[in-house]
A and B are shown apart, each in its own frame.
Chain A
C-alpha cells in the first residue's frame, strides 16, 4: 500500500483542513472551479474535502482502529490535476467566512503533491528545468537578460547595482527582461524612474529568477535555492530599496523571501514608489491623455499583498484619464487566469478565465484596460485579441510614461 506522506503539509494547513466549514462560499466565486468550469473538485471546498478524505483514510481514527486504506492512484492523480487548475488568485481567501489563508493552503498542497511524487505536472517540467538551468523560465541564456535595456541606452542611465551601488535596485523579472512583447514594461519603468531622477540600477545579467513559479508549483526546495542566490546579490548591492514592476516578483520578494533568508531591505512595487514620487512632486504627469480606463487588480499585488489604492492614484493623477471601476474590483477582482501555472498547463482554461475578465472591462465601456503585472497583461491582451474586443490593453507604466515624457 502506498502511504501518503503528510509531513510536507504544514501544521497550519492541517488545522485549516479541519476548520473548513464546508459552507461553499468559495465555490461560486472561484474563477476556475466555479466560474470558468463547473467542477466542484477544482473549487477550494472540493480540494479541501478530497485531500482530507484521502489522508484520513490512512491517518484518521478509523484507519487507526480498523487499518489504513489504500488511496487509489487514479484519485490522487485526479486531485493533482485539479489542484493545478487553481490560479491561486486568493478569491477564496477574500470570501472565506472562516478566515482561512487559502493561498498558503494551495501552495502547501502543491508542495505535498510534489513530496508524494505526484507533481509537478509534465507541462511545468520544462519551465522548472529552465529556471534551474538558465535562471529564467523562458530557456533564454543568462547573457541576454539585460538586453532589453539596449533600446534606451542613450536615453536612460541604468546603473550596475553590484558595482555602482545605487539607492534603488530595480528587479526587472524574467518576463519583462526576456519577452519581447512585455519588454516595454521594463523600458517604461526605467524611463519613469529616470524622469523622476531616481538613483537606480539593476543586477543586469546577474539577476536571477525570483522563484515565484517554483514556489507556486510546489517546488519549495528549488525556490529556496533560487531565492537564496538573489538574496546574496541583494546583500552585495546594498540598496536602500528594491522595486519591482512584476506583481509576481513583488509578492515573492516581499512575502516569501523573508521566510527563506535574511532580508534587510524594503521591497516595494513600482506603483508604490511612483505614488510617492508623484505625491512629493518629483514626478509630474503633465501630458494630457484623453480616455476612459478601467483597472484590473493583479492578484499578486492586490489580494496577496493588499495594494489597491496606489495604481488608482497614479491613474487619477494623469490629466485627461477617467477611471471607471469594474463591478468586481479590488479584493473582489476576477483573476486574469494566468497565475499558479494555469496558463502553461491549462491554456484553454486560462483563456476562459481571461475572457470573463475582459467581459468585465467591456461592460464598463472603458477604452483601455490597464494593469500592472506582466502576466495579467499577457493573458488579458491575448483574450482581447482572440475576442476581437475593442478595449485596448495597457500597462500602467506605459500610460504614465506617455504622460511624463518630455515634449
Chain B
C-alpha cells in the first residue's frame, strides 16, 4: 500500500507535467497564425491538436525515462521524489555553470570533438543531422515569434530580408544539412553496411522517419512554389531546394497544398513524440549524462 508521501510525490509530478503541457497548449492555441497560407483552417486545427498531443507524449516519455534513471542507486526517496528534488538542483547547477554547460553541450554533444579525429565521415554526418535539426528548430522559433507575436514586417513581406534569408534560405539550408547527413547515414547503414554499423528496427526507423520528414518539407515547399501559393510567389530562388523540386511539379499540385501541409506537420509532430521512445533519445540523454557526472556527488558512483 503506497504511503501518503509517495502519493503526494506522484501527484506533484503529475501536476507539474500537466502544467507544462497546458502552458504549451495555451501558447500554441493563443497564436493567431495570420500569415499561414492555408485555405482551410480546419487543417490548422487538426495540426494544433496533434502537436499538443505529441508534445505531451514527448514530455511524458522524457519524464518516464528520467523516472527510470531515478530508480538507480545513489539518491534518497521514491523515483518521483528524487526527480522532483532534482529539478531545483539542476536549475541551480545550470545557473552556476551556464557557460560550462553550454560549451560542453556544444563541444561534446553537437560538435562531437572526440569523433572528429577518428572518422571525418561519421563526424560530418552527425554534425549535419544534429546541426541541421537544431538550426531548423531555432529558425522555426524565430519565425513563429516574428510572424505571430512581433508581427515583424520584413518577416511577413514577400521581399522582406528576414522572409528571404531566414524563412526561405535559412530553413532550406537547415533542411539541406539534415538531408545531406541523413543520406550519409542511409548509404552507410543500408548500402555500404560496414561492420561497425548495427541496424535493427530502432536504427532504421529513426533514419527513415527523419528522411521522410525532411524530404516531405522540400516537397511541400515545391508544391507551394509550383502552385503559386501566397508567400511562394516571388524571389523563389531563396528557397533553393523547394524551387528545385517545384521545377518538376505541375502547377495543379497547389490544390493539394493544405493536405500536404497537414501530412508534413503531423509527421513532424509524430517525430517529436517518437524521440523519447527511440534511439534519438540519446540527443537528450547524452548531454544530460555528461553534465550529470559533474553534478552528482561521488558516492552516487560508488
Taking Cβ atoms with an 8 Å cutoff, the residues of A that contact B are: 6-16, 18-25, 27-28, 40, 45, 59-61, 64, 95-101, 104, 220, 256, 258-260
Contact = CB atoms under 8 A, between A and B. Distances in A.
Contacts of B118: 25, 95, 97
Contact of B68 (A14, A21, A96): A14
A18 B282 contact: yes
A275 B109 CA distance: 37
A298 B223 CA distance: 62
Contacts of A98: 108-109, 282, 286, 289-290
A260 B299 CA distance: 8
B279 A22 contact: yes
Contact of B73 (A11, A24, A40): A11
Closest 6 CB pairs of A and B: A24-B196, A18-B285, A11-B72, A19-B289, A97-B115, A19-B285
Given A6-B72, A11-B72, A18-B282, A95 B114 contact: yes
A114 to B, nearest CB: 13
A20 B282 contact: yes
A99 B302 contact: no
B292 A15 contact: yes
Given A22-B203, A97-B114, A259-B301, A12 B71 contact: no
Contacts of A20: 282
A245 B298 CA distance: 26
Interface in B103-118: 108-109, 112, 114-115, 118
Contacts of A14: 68-69, 71-72
Interface in B244-302: 277, 279, 281-282, 285-286, 288-290, 292-293, 296, 298-302
B23 interface: no
Nearest to B282: A21
A5 to B, nearest CB: 10
Given A28-B196, A220-B302, A96 B72 contact: no
A25 B71 contact: no
Interface residues of B, number: 42
Nearest to A96: B114
A249 B122 CA distance: 38
A51 B70 CA distance: 17
A300 B142 CA distance: 50
B70, B73, B281, B285 — which one has the most chain A CB atoms within 10 A of its CB? B73
B65 interface: yes
B198 interface: yes
B70 A11 contact: yes
Nearest to A94: B114
Nearest to A15: B289
A259 B74 CA distance: 12
Interface of B: 61, 64-65, 68-75, 108-109, 112, 114-115, 118-119, 122, 126, 195-198, 203, 277, 279, 281-282, 285-286, 288-290, 292-293, 296, 298-302
A55 to B, nearest CB: 8
A259 B282 contact: no
A8, A13, A60, A258 — which one has the most chain B CB atoms within 10 A of its CB? A13
A60 B68 CA distance: 8
A99 B73 contact: no
B70, B282, B300, B302 — which one has the most chain A CB atoms within 10 A of its CB? B302
A20 B285 CA distance: 8
B114 to A, nearest CB: 5
A395 B108 CA distance: 38
B69 A15 contact: yes
B296 A11 contact: yes
Given A11-B70, A18-B285, A61-B277, 10 more contacts: A10-B73, A14-B72, A19-B290, A22-B279, A23-B122, A25-B119, A28-B196, A61-B61, A99-B289, A104-B301
Nearest to B82: A11
A102 B112 CA distance: 17
B65 A12 contact: no
B75 A11 contact: yes
A248 to B, nearest CB: 16
B300 A25 contact: no
B197 to A, nearest CB: 6
Contacts of B196: 23-25, 27-28
A99 B108 contact: yes
